[in-house]
Chain A
Amino acid sequence: LAKTTQPISMDSYEGQEVNITCSHNNIATNDYITWYQQFPSQGPRFIIQGYKTKVTNEVASLFIPADRKSSTLSLPRVSLSDTAVYYCLVGGLRSSASKIIFGSGTRLSIRP
């Protein structure tokens, strides 16, 4: 199984940069790494996806080392509205259901 491990919770303050790391030691060659954000009473929402090195979009950056056994989601200058649960998901095209595992996620709390 493609199991991921993330910190259960993190706290930070408005305006700070937040980095959330996910471990995925059993990642397969064709697996991508995708991060989702979930607010209470909503479904998860796509943030960013990558395969290797670094990916950046308008909301976040994703850093993936050469061995791909971990990844770090970086949120620049967080605000109160970034308080949510963040999930790291590892899987490839046509991954079986047993491989699409969200894990328990990281509960991020942003304070004023």
Chain B
Amino acid sequence: EAGVVQSPRYKIIEKKQPVAFWCNPISGHNTLYWYRQNLGQGPELLIRYENEEAVDDSQLPKDRFSAERLKGVDSTLKIQPAELGDSAVYLCASSPRGGGGETQYFGPGTRLLVL
């Protein structure tokens, strides 16, 4: 069974530029999560989808971050414009149903460096 796929693995951009991350969850997993992980810290949940609906985006900085999950499968997380403080690893995870009680399967992450 293929795991969660993320691309790109690494991205270097200059501040004020836009950037997008793509995630393909495990087949059949209805719930998809986007996390941000800063160096030396645990993952911080940004948004959770159940199918194509964003059921919880309370932690997403909406002034510059946006996300979509068209057709309830793949998802894209976008930052526009990027700031220096956005440098982090962006992790995507999926689970069969959702919620904190469900096992989450993580992708390898996209490491973003904003110069």
- Of residues 84 through 99 on chain A, the ones whose CB sits less than 8 Å from some CB of chain B are 87, 89-99
How many Å lie between the Cα of A68 and that of B43 in the bound state? 23
Check B101 against A46 for contact (C-beta < 8 Å).
Answer: no
Closest to B50 in A: A94
Interface size classification for chain A: 20 to 34
Check A94 against B109 for contact (C-beta < 8 Å).
Answer: no
The residue that A102 contacts in the complex, of B43, B98, B101, with Cβ under 8 A, is B43
Majority SS of interface residues in chain B?
loop
How many Å lie between the Cα of A99 and that of B98 in the bound state? 13
Residues in chain B near residue A69, CB distance under 8 A: none
> Interface stretch among A36-44, A59-67, A70-78?
A36-44
- In the complex, whether A53 has a CB less than 8 A from a CB of chain B is no
How many Å lie between the Cα of A31 and that of B102 in the bound state? 10
Check B42 against A97 for contact (C-beta < 8 Å).
Answer: no
The residue that A43 contacts in the complex, of B45, B91, B100, B103, with Cβ under 8 A, is B91
